[in-house]
């Protein structure tokens, strides 16, 4: 089939690459000329495992900034643009509606096209997109254009986005239109049936189950996305709340999470306590869900509490640091990790960055390191007063305290006694509990440190 994906962010580019790999002709469109130039050279604008190699191998994909150049032949059009937060928490739908307007203005007459929304949009927005595109096409005369609409939310995680696209747990289609449903199931058939040969750069898991498919109405489909993300966020906040109580009562949170996760109904994932959740999705989606609820005069105290607990994690670590170091002006603090989670170079909306910023605000000299996100951080946070360090050792040199802010495996493997010798002070704040097991099982590896988890 001929496919157009609008937006080449995490959702758009991974979807486009996967669809081209399974045999479709794909045109990726973005208003950002810099991204399109990179993609034309088969370089991914984001750092994702396997993406560069996959892009280099694809013959049936092309990229453009001009939607009108490629829309004419499209059988299926994906809207995969961003929906960032507005200051009041509402999702900003400017990009989504701009994509809809462009589609409405550029659709060729007498085409039969399925338009699919992959962007995370508040409940009801799929309906609004359909209305706007239909109206635009009618204004231009209609001319027998047949339009079909579906919501098809994306559940990929940054850092393993291609893996999640090729080997998803679930596939949700929200539509009342039989043709749209049929087009989507045909388009994704090799993925739904897991019948494709795995790309060399994205090996398949073993075993390789077929994704579960849910066919529902558009509103439920939109809500599955929000309800899932926010549920994961509140699962983490719950683990963080239990961890805080455990600190008072005694108890090993790693074991508690493990013990809880042994119950299949709870499952072991998203129970890791620490500095809390960040990134482009959980914070934005929890605020958007609360904003939707507010619009309807409905309270969501559980979601509000999850957001509150998440914010409190930052205060908890800051007060632990203050308890030990007392006044921060004149103190040097190493912060290891800036990305919002390990295995990504994405340092936006990162609790680790917020912590480093708060320490600077309180007068400390903050030396930061990240295994992958340093280049991005140097650009985005160049005026934030951080001292950027190329190695953990450089950050640790003469530090009064060291904070592990992102749970990169690289940090677990550090020679901690060498790090200790470089430091002026002994405080090690493990805001991700990365070394908790080491502390319990091999405490000699952390000799000389005053260790505190979160």
Per CB under 6 A, 158 contacts ligand UGA: yes
- How far apart CA 247 and CA 264 sit, in angstroms, is 26
Per CB under 6 A, 236 contacts ligand UGA: yes
Per CB under 6 A, 388 contacts ligand UGA: no
Per CB under 6 A, 156 contacts ligand UGA: yes
What order do you get walking across the sheet with 387-388 strand by strand? 387-388, 365-369, 332-336, 401-404, 427-430, 450-452
Per CB under 6 A, 167 contacts ligand UGA: no
Q: Cβ closer to ligand UGA: 4 or 243?
A: 243
- How far apart CA 454 and CA 393 sit, in angstroms, is 23
Site stretch for ligand UGA (CB under 6 A), options 96-104, 182-190, 277-285, 320-328? 277-285
Candidates 126, 221, 272, 452; binder of ligand UGA (CB under 6 A) is: 272
Per CB under 6 A, 95 contacts ligand UGA: no
- How far apart CA 271 and CA 266 sit, in angstroms, is 10
Kindly name the residue from 246, 281, 365, 427 that is annotated as catalytic: 281
Site stretch for ligand UGA (CB under 6 A), options 57-65, 97-105, 267-275, 442-450? 267-275
Per CB under 6 A, 271 contacts ligand UGA: yes
Beta carbon of residue 233, minimum distance to ligand UGA (angstroms, whole number) = 7
Residues ≥6 apart with Cβ < 8 Å to 69: 27
Beta carbon of residue 276, minimum distance to ligand UGA (angstroms, whole number) = 6
Candidates 30, 154, 354, 400; binder of ligand UGA (CB under 6 A) is: 154
| Cβ 78 vs Cβ 4: under 8 Å | yes
Candidates 163, 341, 369, 436; binder of ligand UGA (CB under 6 A) is: 341
Tokens at 380, concatenated: 């985005």
Tokens at 379, concatenated: 């650009």
Candidates 278, 373, 392, 425; binder of ligand UGA (CB under 6 A) is: 278
Per CB under 6 A, 453 contacts ligand UGA: no
Candidates 157, 294, 324, 397; binder of ligand UGA (CB under 6 A) is: 157
H-run or E-run covering 427: strand 427-430
Per CB under 6 A, 279 contacts ligand UGA: yes
Question: DSSP assignment, residue 371?
Answer: T
| Cβ 115 vs Cβ 149: under 8 Å | yes
Site stretch for ligand UGA (CB under 6 A), options 105-113, 270-278, 327-335, 442-450? 270-278
Q: Which long-range contacts (CB under 8 A, 24 or more apart) does 193-200 make?
A: 194/167, 196/21, 196/22, 196/166, 198/166, 199/21, 199/50, 199/53, 199/54, 199/57, 199/166, 200/53, 200/57
- How far apart CA 290 and CA 122 sit, in angstroms, is 11
Q: Tell me, yes or no, if 246 is annotated catalytic.
A: no
Beta carbon of residue 35, minimum distance to ligand UGA (angstroms, whole number) = 18
Q: Cβ closer to ligand UGA: 74 or 224?
A: 224
Per CB under 6 A, 289 contacts ligand UGA: no
Q: Among residue numbers 202 through 221, which ones bind ligand UGA (CB under 6 A)?
A: none
Site stretch for ligand UGA (CB under 6 A), options 65-73, 275-283, 375-383, 385-393? 275-283
- Helix, strand or coil for residue 356? helix
Beta carbon of residue 120, minimum distance to ligand UGA (angstroms, whole number) = 6
Helical residues (DSSP H) of 32-177, grouped into ranges: 33-40, 51-57, 67-71, 94-106, 125-139, 161-166
# residues near ligand UGA by CB under 6 A = 21
Query: Which residues sit opposite 25 in a β-bridge?
Result: 2
Helical residues (DSSP H) of 298-451, grouped into ranges: 301-325, 351-361, 374-380, 392-396, 409-412, 416-422, 436-441
Beta carbon of residue 165, minimum distance to ligand UGA (angstroms, whole number) = 10
Task: Tell which residue, 368, 421, 418, has the closest CA to residue 391.
Answer: 368
Q: Among residue numbers 111 through 140, which ones bind ligand UGA (CB under 6 A)?
A: 120
- How far apart CA 308 and CA 314 sit, in angstroms, is 11
Residues that bind ligand UGA (CB under 6 A): 120, 154-158, 229, 232, 236, 270-272, 274, 276-279, 281-282, 340-341
Residues assigned a catalytic role:
281
């Amino acid at each position: 089939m001929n496919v157009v994906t609008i937006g080449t962010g995490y959702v758009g580019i991974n979807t486009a690459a996967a669809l081209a790999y399974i045999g479709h002709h794909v045109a990726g469109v973005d208003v950002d000329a810099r991204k399109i130039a990179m993609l034309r050279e088969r370089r991914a604008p984001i750092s994702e495992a396997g993406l560069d190699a996959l892009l280099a191998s694809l013959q049936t994909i092309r990229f453009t900034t001009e939607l009108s150049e490629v829309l004419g032949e499209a059988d299926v059009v994906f809207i995969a643009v961003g929906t960032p937060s507005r200051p009041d928490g509402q999702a900003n739908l400017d990009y989504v509606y701009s994509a809809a307007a462009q589609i409405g203005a550029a659709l060729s007459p007498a085409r039969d096209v399925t338009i699919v929304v992959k962007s995370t949009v508040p409940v009801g927005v799929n309906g609004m997109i359909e209305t706007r595109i239909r109206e635009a096409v009618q204004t231009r005369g209609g001319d027998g254009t047949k339009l079909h609409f579906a919501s098809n939310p994306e559940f990929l995680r940054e850092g393993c986005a291609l893996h999640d696209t090729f080997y998803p747990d679930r596939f949700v289609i929200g539509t009342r239109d039989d043709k749209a449903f049929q087009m989507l199931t045909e388009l994704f058939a090799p993925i739904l049936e897991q019948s494709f040969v795995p790309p060399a750069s994205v090996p398949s898991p073993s075993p390789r189950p077929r994704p579960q498919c849910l066919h529902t109405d558009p509103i439920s489909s939109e809500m599955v996305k929000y309800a899932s993300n926010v549920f994961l966020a509140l699962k983490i906040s719950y683990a963080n709340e239990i961890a805080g109580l455990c600190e008072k009562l005694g108890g090993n949170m790693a074991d508690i999470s493990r013990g809880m996760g042994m119950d299949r109904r709870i499952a072991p994932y998203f129970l890791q306590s620490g500095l809390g959740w960040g990134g482009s999705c959980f914070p934005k989606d929890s605020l958007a869900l609360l904003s939707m609820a507010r619009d309807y005069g409905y309270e969501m105290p559980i979601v509000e509490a999850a957001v509150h607990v998440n914010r409190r994690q930052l205060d908890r670590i800051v007060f632990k640091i203050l308890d030990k170091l007392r006044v921060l002006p004149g103190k040097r603090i190493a912060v290891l990790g800036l990305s919002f989670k390990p295995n990504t170079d994405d340092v936006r909306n990162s609790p680790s960055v917020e912590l480093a910023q708060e320490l600077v605000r309180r007068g400390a000299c903050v030396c930061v390191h990240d295994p992958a996100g340093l280049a991005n951080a140097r650009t985005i946070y160049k005026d934030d007063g951080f001292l950027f360090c190329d190695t953990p050792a450089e950050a640790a040199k003469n530090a009064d305290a060291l904070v592990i802010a992102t749970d990169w495996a690289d940090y677990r493997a550090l020679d901690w006694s060498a790090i200790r010798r470089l430091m002026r002070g002994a405080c090690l704040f493990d805001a991700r509990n990365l070394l908790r097991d080491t502390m319990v099982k091999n405490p000699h590896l952390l000799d000389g440190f005053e260790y505190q988890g979160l």
